[in-house]
């Protein structure tokens, strides 16, 4: 039996009690969020936390599974924050583990893929937010969106879809050796037709539209000149 929670009920939750539903993070994005936190007025930190509640799914044993905001939670943890406000997105605590993960997968609330883009067993998901691994391509995808390479999409784990797209086209050594150069390549790829199926694709389509547009009819004056006998 499952039940959705229609109105958010906030709970102060220890960050290390949140169970990740994905295996990796983009550490560059974590560092950016941590820097943003450090630059905030100390008087407004509590207000920030109150307006950035994290969504959780209650699973078997009433464990709280983090369905989004993994980067924010990790950044706050690394900055020394011990707890956040969480709201229960769905209550699945009466399900056994097999049914629970089926429902999680069905709703797109989990992404059990490692730093090489390989799907793993749910049992391999990290226990806590601090156990999550860095995926350089998730960092690359995050930076790409940050500079306008694509738009934020509502589809779950959209950045990971972009990460896998880039993973198959940019070599790991290139990302590690010169991240800025790899980002420039990623931006070119984001503007190409190859990326047109990806969530948030927003490259200019003017040239493509022009190429596909039917030829315009000739103006009446030109048509009259081209057809002798017409007045």
Q: Is the domain of 111 the same as that of 182? A: no
Q: Output the pLDDT for position 211.
A: 45
Structure confidence by residue, pLDDT tens digits, 86-144: 999 999 999 999 999 999 999 999 999 999 999 999 999 999 999 999 999 999 999 99
Query: Of the candidates 217, 5, 184, 180, which has an alpha carbon nearest to the alpha carbon of residue 90?
Result: 5
Whether the predicted pLDDT of 50 surpasses 70: yes
Answer yes or no: are the C-beta atoms of 45 and 81 closer than 8 Å.
Answer: no
Q: Output the pLDDT for position 200.
A: 96
Query: Of the candidates 148, 144, 135, which has an alpha carbon nearest to the alpha carbon of residue 185?
Result: 144
Query: Would you give the end-to-end CA distance of the chain in angstroms?
Result: 81
Q: Is the domain of 191 the same as that of 93? A: no
Q: Output the pLDDT for position 230.
A: 46
pTM of whole model > 0.85?
A: no
Domain of residue 107 covers 3-134
Structure tokens at 45: 């930190």
Q: Is the domain of 113 the same as that of 160? A: no
**Under 8 Å CB-to-CB from 204, ≥6 apart: which residues?**
191
73-79-84 Cα angle (round to 5) = 40
Query: Total structural domains in the chain?
Result: 2
**Under 8 Å CB-to-CB from 148, ≥6 apart: which residues?**
202
CA 29, 35, 39, 45 torsion-angle sign = positive
Which residue among 134, 160, 177 closes a domain?
134
Q: Is the domain of 19 the same as that of 101? A: yes
Whether the predicted pLDDT of 11 surpasses 90: no
Structure confidence by residue, pLDDT tens digits, 64-93: 999 999 999 999 999 999 999 999 999 999
Structure confidence by residue, pLDDT tens digits, 109-123: 999 999 999 999 999
Whether the predicted pLDDT of 9 surpasses 80: no
CB atoms within 10 A of CB 219: 9
Helix (H) or strand (E) holding 91: strand 83-91
In a domain, 212, yes or no: no
Whether the predicted pLDDT of 210 surpasses 60: no
Q: Is the domain of 24 the same as that of 108? A: yes
Residue scoring higher pLDDT (5 or 157) = 157
Q: Is the domain of 199 the same as that of 130? A: no
Q: Output the pLDDT for position 203.
A: 85
Q: Is the domain of 15 the same as that of 120? A: yes
Q: Is the domain of 13 the same as that of 92? A: yes
C-alpha span between 21 and 95 (Å, rounded): 17
Helix/strand/coil (H, E, C) string of 154-173? CCCCHHHHHHHHHHCCCCHH
Q: Cα separations (Å) of 136 from 103, 163, 201?
A: 29, 9, 21
**Under 8 Å CB-to-CB from 52, ≥6 apart: which residues?**
69, 72, 84, 85
C-alpha span between 63 and 56 (Å, rounded): 9
Q: Cα separations (Å) of 87 from 55, 77, 82, 175?
A: 5, 18, 17, 37
Structure confidence by residue, pLDDT tens digits, 29-47: 999 999 999 999 999 998 9
- Indicate the average pLDDT of the chain: 88
Whether the predicted pLDDT of 191 surpasses 60: yes
Mean pLDDT on 190-208? 83
Mean pLDDT on 177-184? 97
Q: Output the pLDDT for position 161.
A: 96
Whether the predicted pLDDT of 8 surpasses 70: no
In a domain, 221, yes or no: no
């Amino acid at each position: 039996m499952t039940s959705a929670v229609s109105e958010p009920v906030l709970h102060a939750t220890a960050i290390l009690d949140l169970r990740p539903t994905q295996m990796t993070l983009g550490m560059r994005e974590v560092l950016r969020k941590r820097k943003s936190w450090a630059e905030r007025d100390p008087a407004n930190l509590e207000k920030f936390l109150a307006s950035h509640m994290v969504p959780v799914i209650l699973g078997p044993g009433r464990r709280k599974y983090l369905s989004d905001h993994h980067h924010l939670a990790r950044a706050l943890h690394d900055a020394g924050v011990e707890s956040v406000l969480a709201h229960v997105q769905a209550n699945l605590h009466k399900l056994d583990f097999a049914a629970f993960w089926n429902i999680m997968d069905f709703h797109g609330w989990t992404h059990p893929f490692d730093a090489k883009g390989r799907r793993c067993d749910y049992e391999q998901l990290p226990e806590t937010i601090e156990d999550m691994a860095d995926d350089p391509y998730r960092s690359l995808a995050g930076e790409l969106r940050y500079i306008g390479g694509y738009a934020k999409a509502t589809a779950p784990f959209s950045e990971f879809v972009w990460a896998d797209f880039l993973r198959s086209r940019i070599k790991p050594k290139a990302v590690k050796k010169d991240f800025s150069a790899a980002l420039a390549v990623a931006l070119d790829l984001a503007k190409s037709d190859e990326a047109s199926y990806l969530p948030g694709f927003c490259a200019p389509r003017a040239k493509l539209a022009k190429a596909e547009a039917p030829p315009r009819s000739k103006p009446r004056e030109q048509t009259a000149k081209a057809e002798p006998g017409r007045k």
